[in-house]
Amino acid sequence: MGFESFGTVSFTAEAKVADFVTYLEQGKVMATQCKNCGAKYFPPQMDCPRCLSTDAEWFEVKGSGKLITYTTVQYGPSGFENDAPYTLVIVDFADGLRIFGRLSRDIKESDIKIGMDVKVVPVKLADDRISYEFQRA
Partner 1 sequence: MEEVAIVGVGQSTFTRKCGVSVRELCFQAYKEAMEGLDITKDDIDASIVCSAPEYDKQRTPSGLISEYLELTPKPTFYVESVCSSSSTGLRVAWSLIKSGLHKVVAVIGFQKMSELTSREAAERMGRGGDIIWESPFGITMPAGYAMYARAHMAKYDTTEEQMAMVRVKNSSYGARNPKANYRKELSIDDVMNSDVITSPLKMFDCCANCDGSSSIIVARGDVAKRVSKIPIWVIGVGAATDTMTMSGRKSVTGLECSQEAARQAYEMAGVKPEDIDVAEVHDCFTISEILAYEDLGFAKPGEGARLIEEKQTYADGKIPVNVDGGLLSKGHPIGATGGSQIRTIVRQLRGEATEAQVKGAEIGLVHNVGGVGQYGNVTILRR
* Residues near Zn ion (CB under 5 A): 34, 36-37, 39, 48, 50-51, 53
At 70, phi and psi to the nearest 5? -160, 165
Of 32 and 87, CB closest to Zn ion: 32
Report the 3 state secondary structure along 28-83.
Answer: CCEEEEECCCCCEECCCCCCCCCCCCCCEEEEECCCCEEEEEEEEECCCCCCCCCC
Residue 68 interacting with partner 1 (CB under 8 A): yes
Residue 134 interacting with partner 1 (CB under 8 A): no
| List of residues contacting partner 1 (CB under 8 A) | 3, 6-12, 15, 42-43, 68-80, 83-84, 86, 88-90, 98-102, 109, 114-115, 131
